[in-house]
Structure 1
Amino acid sequence: MNRRLVVISPCRDEARFLEGMVRSVINQSIRPVAWIVVDDGSQDDSFKIISRHAALHPWIRPVRRERSGQRQLGPGVVNAFRAGLAVLSETDYEVIAKLDCDLEFGPECFAMILKHFDDSRVGIAGGTTFLKVDGRLVSERYVTYHVPGAVKFYRRECFVDIGGLQPVYGWDILDETDARRHGWTTISDPGIVFMHHRLQGSSFGAVQGKVIWGRGAYVIGSHPLFALARGLFRLWERPWIIGGLAFIWGYYSSYFNKQIKRVQDQEFIRYLRREQLYRLTHGNRLPPNPV
């Protein structure tokens, strides 16, 4: 079943990746009815590139968002996404996607992801992101119920249930956990391959990116034991050892940083922590029933 799809892509200084991304979207067997690319104050030619392609494909809609300051994960990305959402008020859609602009993927990827929404229980779906390391593709490590922030497709009803995306660090775990709290299934299909040109957060440097991940875990209310286990798990990936330690530092140091605020939804935090503690004792599997 072809579902009406809209895609929103926050973009900041992605000129070196945009041509590949545009080719990937244009070549899809199922194209979106609208692709909103929000240029979030780029200093390179990103806006020029997307505007050139928009002149040839009216369903591509560039949006210019003037913003000063440094690149910002979490809140900055979500606010750029919301700027794209604001121009969709008259567009009818069944599925909305958030895609990064540093991706390349095959022509059937959208169709394969949309196929998952034939299951009425699926609220969020995506593919699996791979990094190119020493000339070969290496899967970014995560469980199949985690849909990475770079590639997220939302059923409209689910998107409404969770109140859209929240402008906080860790938004991409908050949204899918809240979706499960509302009874939806989340799935990342390992057979749908997206090549990710940069590890999430690496634009800040590999170590600082992991610190930001740790802060995100704190902001959404992750259990301290789960955050520690997650950091230890990350010791064995690039940057070796120090990346996992940076994650742990980002989480625990946030307790003493008054500028970092946790989400206020205590019911959500209780749900998240019960789910995490179950995962710690059951091989990282989700509970069989809502917790």
Structure 2
Amino acid sequence: MKFLIIIPAHNEENNLPFTLDSLQRQNFKDFKIVVVNDGSTDRTSEVIKRYTENDGRFETINLQKSAHQPGSKVVAAFKKGLSTQNLDEFDVICKFDSDIILEENYLQTVANAFIENPDYGLVGGLLYVEKNEEWVYEGNSNKHHVRGPMKAYKKECFLQIGGLRETLGWDNIDAILLQNSGWKEVVLPELHVKLIKVKGADYTIKPADYYGRYFYFLGLNRFLTYVAAVKEAMKVKSPSFLFQIISSYEKCKSQNLELKITKDEKKVINQQRWNQFKKKWFKT
């Protein structure tokens, strides 16, 4: 198996060396890395140069500065890197973040999982963050969902779902679509991925506005959005948080903002969420 690893990077001079070093230390060697320097204004380009000059498996492309928005920016950068490569040469396509540290056996373990399980379409480990000088499970998502910082797709699966979408919620849209196409999303809990930077730290969008926009661009209908909004509001014990989420969602809907999914894909996503709702509340 050969891996194509695309790493979008924006002002990551302090974090990127840890990511690239951990990839160089992999006991699995058959990979190619494209670091997409996404309008960095720090020394990210100098960091990348140290690797591209000394390791033929590393390449880079440079993009102009763009607005830093959740979802769309990082996927746009990923797709720019992807477009420079001949996908016929690869078996696995990875979207990795520029602030993670992988165990030395990470790629080999993922490769073995794909080889031994032909129906695996998306594989990854679990995210860990540093707290009180210890690495602990991040816990922001269920342990059966491969998080955005370390996505590894079997190429056939990646192509079948139409790649990644430049939108908020892309890292849930992919999972829903691939499962609907008969592929499996699998988390390997023995693989610990260290996340250096807390996600969302660079975003200026407010949490309630984020959730409202996320539910809209995910394609959820009103009922499912309101149910999800109640769930998020209950977590923070704030009725106002609920109404702020709904307001954000309705604002997007009134503006008829463009979705990056088709009508059929929207139906699939809503059906999947509805099935989850029924399973939880009606035990069906």
Tell me the TM-score normalized by structure 2.
Answer: 0.87
| In structure 2, C-alpha distance between the alignment counterparts of 1:106 and 1:232, rounded to whole Å | 38
Deviating more after overlay: 245-254 vs 85-94? 245-254
Partner of 2:279: 282
Alpha-carbon shift at residue 153 of structure 1 (Å): 0.5
Q: Deviations over 1:16-73 (max 9, x none)?
A: 1111111111111113421000001101111110111211111011111123x43232
Partner of 2:266: 269
| In structure 1, C-alpha distance between the alignment counterparts of 2:12 and 2:32, rounded to whole Å | 20
The equivalent position to 1:221 in structure 2, one of 204, 214, 219, is 219
Deviating more after overlay: 142-151 vs 74-83? 142-151
| Structure 1: runs of 5+ lacking an equivalent | none
Alpha-carbon shift at residue 145 of structure 1 (Å): 3.8
Q: Deviations over 1:101-128 (max 9, x none)?
A: 0111211122222222121111111111
After superposition, the Cα gap between the structure-2 partners of 1:43 and 1:210, relative to the gap in structure 1 and judged at 3 Å, is farther
The equivalent position to 1:73 in structure 2, one of 70, 81, 93, is 70
After superposition, the Cα gap between the structure-2 partners of 1:233 and 1:27, relative to the gap in structure 1 and judged at 3 Å, is farther
After superposition, the Cα gap between the structure-2 partners of 1:225 and 1:129, relative to the gap in structure 1 and judged at 3 Å, is farther
| In structure 2, C-alpha distance between the alignment counterparts of 1:6 and 1:48, rounded to whole Å | 22
| In structure 2, C-alpha distance between the alignment counterparts of 1:128 and 1:61, rounded to whole Å | 27
Deviating more after overlay: 111-120 vs 128-137? 128-137
Partner of 1:204: 203
Q: Deviations over 1:119-177 (max 9, x none)?
A: 11111111111222343423233234422111101111111101111212211111121
1:233 touches 1:244 (CA, 8 Å); kept in 2?
Answer: no
After superposition, the Cα gap between the structure-2 partners of 1:20 and 1:100, relative to the gap in structure 1 and judged at 3 Å, is same
1:214 touches 1:248 (CA, 8 Å); kept in 2?
Answer: yes
After superposition, the Cα gap between the structure-2 partners of 1:32 and 1:42, relative to the gap in structure 1 and judged at 3 Å, is farther
After superposition, the Cα gap between the structure-2 partners of 1:181 and 1:91, relative to the gap in structure 1 and judged at 3 Å, is closer
Is it true that 1:37 corresponds to 2:29 in the alignment?
no
Alpha-carbon shift at residue 279 of structure 1 (Å): 0.9
Alpha-carbon RMSD across the aligned residues, in angstroms, is 2.6
| In structure 2, C-alpha distance between the alignment counterparts of 1:103 and 1:253, rounded to whole Å | 35
| In structure 1, C-alpha distance between the alignment counterparts of 2:107 and 2:164, rounded to whole Å | 21
| In structure 2, C-alpha distance between the alignment counterparts of 1:10 and 1:220, rounded to whole Å | 22
| In structure 2, C-alpha distance between the alignment counterparts of 1:33 and 1:9, rounded to whole Å | 13
Secondary structure of residue in 1 paired with 2:14: helix
Aligned residues: 278
- How do 1:16-55 and structure 2 match up within 5 A? 16-55=14-53
Deviating more after overlay: 23-32 vs 132-141? 132-141
| In structure 2, C-alpha distance between the alignment counterparts of 1:160 and 1:13, rounded to whole Å | 30
After superposition, the Cα gap between the structure-2 partners of 1:247 and 1:55, relative to the gap in structure 1 and judged at 3 Å, is farther
1:176 touches 1:186 (CA, 8 Å); kept in 2?
Answer: yes
| In structure 2, C-alpha distance between the alignment counterparts of 1:208 and 1:32, rounded to whole Å | 41
Partner of 1:178: 177
Partner of 1:61: 59
Q: Deviations over 1:158-198 (max 9, x none)?
A: 11101111212211111121111211111222221111123
Task: Among all aligned residue pairs of Structure 1 and Structure 2, give the percentage whose two residues are the same amino acid.
Answer: 21
2:126 touches 2:137 (CA, 8 Å); kept in 1?
Answer: no
Letter of the structure 2 residue corresponding to residue 48 of structure 1: E
Partner of 1:256: 254
| Structure 2: runs of 5+ lacking an equivalent | none
Letter of the structure 1 residue corresponding to residue 118 of structure 2: S
| In structure 1, C-alpha distance between the alignment counterparts of 2:184 and 2:87, rounded to whole Å | 28
Partner of 1:188: 187
| In structure 1, C-alpha distance between the alignment counterparts of 2:74 and 2:80, rounded to whole Å | 10
1:170 touches 1:213 (CA, 8 Å); kept in 2?
Answer: no
Partner of 2:111: 114
1:200 touches 1:209 (CA, 8 Å); kept in 2?
Answer: no
Partner of 2:164: 165
After superposition, the Cα gap between the structure-2 partners of 1:195 and 1:213, relative to the gap in structure 1 and judged at 3 Å, is farther
